[in-house]
Amino acid sequence: MTMLKRSALKKIAVSALSISAAGIFSACSEKKAEFRGVDITGADYARDIPLTDHNGQARHLKDFAGKVVVVFFGFTQCPDVCPTSMQELAEVKKMLGKEGDRLQGIFVTVDPERDTPEVLKAYMANFDPSFLALYGTPEQLAAVAKDFKIYYKKVDGKTPTSYTMDHSAGSYVYDPAGRLRVYNRYGSGAQALAADVKTLLAEAG
């Protein structure tokens, strides 16, 4: 092997070692956030919620920049899952103390036929007045639900107005930069959700 080739190979080896070391130090310095919920950082769905809130204002995720946003799909006549989830979210806000102002609860109705703006506003008041309920036309709701991979279906009752709704149960958690980060399964409890919200707030500074 010529001196020229040995010199070239030595340079390549040194360069490779430098890149490897840089990668190790980078990995050590950039500690990955650990969540109690399902980490879905980098997900390419659930990108926006282009719907109307119970005050009549058109809404998008960018409206809540600087806050951790928790989005839940449900309906006001839901007997268990929905009120439990919203009550837990209200508890999370209380757990945060002064940081609670940096949490935005969003309830998206899958029952726009019965959940009028007035009904939604009254429903949110049961949990926290800062929480917003969103609604849209059946077509708008279908588009948003598809983007969020949400399942919902009308289940007929004994009368035309006594129907119920089957729907996915779980919350989507966004960081203050508007990026989807965590999926919180129903039944995880307020403590687990609060821990993840605190992690995202601390990460944002």
Of the candidates 133, 144, 87, the one whose C-alpha atom is nearest the C-alpha of residue 109 is 133
Looking at the predicted structure, is the pLDDT value of residue 118 above 60? yes
pLDDT of 179: 97
Cα–Cα distance between 98 and 196 in angstroms, integer?
17
Quick one: pLDDT at residue 76? 97
List the domain boundaries for the chain: 1-31, 38-204
pLDDT at 28: 45
Residue entry with tokens 């659930």: 46
| pLDDT at residue 184 greater than cutoff 80 | yes
What would the mean pLDDT of 154-180 be, rounded to a whole number?
Answer: 94
One of 3.40.30.10, 3.40.50.2300, 1.10.3720.10, 2.40.30.10 is the CATH number of 38-204, namely 3.40.30.10
CA distance 118 to 59: 17
Q: How many CB atoms lie within 10 A of CB 158?
A: 7
When pLDDT is averaged across residues 80-86 and rounded to a whole number, the result is 96
Residue 2 phi, psi dihedral angles, 5° rounding: -75, 160
On the CB side of 16, how many CA atoms lie within 13 Å of its CA?
6
* Cβ(76)–Cβ(82) below 8 Å: yes
Cβ-contact 117, 54 below 8 angstroms:
yes
Q: What is the structure's pLDDT at 75?
A: 97
Instruction: Answer for the pair 95, 190: CB distance below 8 angstroms, yes or no.
Output: yes
Residue 205: pLDDT band with limits 50, 70, 90? confident
How does pLDDT run across 22-80, given as a tens digit for each residue? 444 444 445 678 999 999 999 999 999 999 999 999 999 999 999 999 999 999 999 99
